[in-house]
Structures are given as C-alpha cells and as structure tokens.
C-alpha cells in the first residue's frame, strides 16, 4: 500500500476534497491533523480489511491514549507492509 492508496481511502471515508487529500503526508496525525472521527476511522478500518486484510480495530485496541494521539499515516503504511 502506497501513500496515494491510503490517501484515496481517506478521501473515500471523509468525502473531503482533492486539496485536503493533497495535504496528507506520512507525518500527518490521524487525530490532530486529519481530524478523523470515530465513524470515519471505523469506515477506514472496513476498507483496510476489505482491500488489504489489515485489522485496524485490533491494532488500535493495542494503543494507549498518547499513542492514539500520535498515530500517523506512516504507522498505517508500516502496518500494511507488515500485513
């Protein structure tokens, strides 16, 4: 999975415009930069599972609050690499 793939999925689950998607970088935080809410995160989880067999809820369940706050796009890309 490449950054572009993930950005495309983020666009699908958020309905955001191309300008927003173009600002997504590996260092973007899902919480504090992209402002993904729980509903969008669940939708992203469904896409990741369907397309890449990645279990996002299980991964998130292993994170503490500070790790969730600091969760970045590159962490999901690494997760895809490991999957």
Interface region with other proteins, contact rule CB under 8 A, candidates 1-9, 47-55, 62-70, 74-82: 62-70
Identity of the residue, 14 or 79, whose beta carbon is nearer to other proteins in the bound complex: 14
R_g of the chain, CA atoms, integer Å:
12
H-state helical runs in 1-83: 3-14, 18-22, 38-52, 56-61, 65-69, 73-82
Q: Should residue 82 be labelled a site residue for other proteins when binding is judged by CB under 8 A?
A: no
Identity of the residue, 19 or 81, whose beta carbon is nearer to other proteins in the bound complex: 19
Q: Should residue 65 be labelled a site residue for other proteins when binding is judged by CB under 8 A?
A: yes
Q: Should residue 79 be labelled a site residue for other proteins when binding is judged by CB under 8 A?
A: no
Q: Which residue matches tokens 């590996």?
A: 26
Q: Could you say which DSSP state residue 32 is in? A: T
């Amino acid at each position: 999975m490449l950054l572009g793939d993930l950005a495309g999925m983020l666009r699908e689950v958020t309905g955001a415009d191309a300008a927003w998607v173009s600002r997504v970088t590996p260092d973007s935080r899902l919480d504090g930069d992209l402002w993904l809410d729980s509903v969008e995160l669940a939708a992203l989880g469904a896409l990741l599972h369907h397309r890449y067999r990645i279990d996002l809820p299980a991964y998130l369940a292993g994170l503490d609050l500070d790790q969730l706050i600091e969760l970045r796009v590159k962490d999901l890309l690494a997760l895809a690499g490991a999957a």
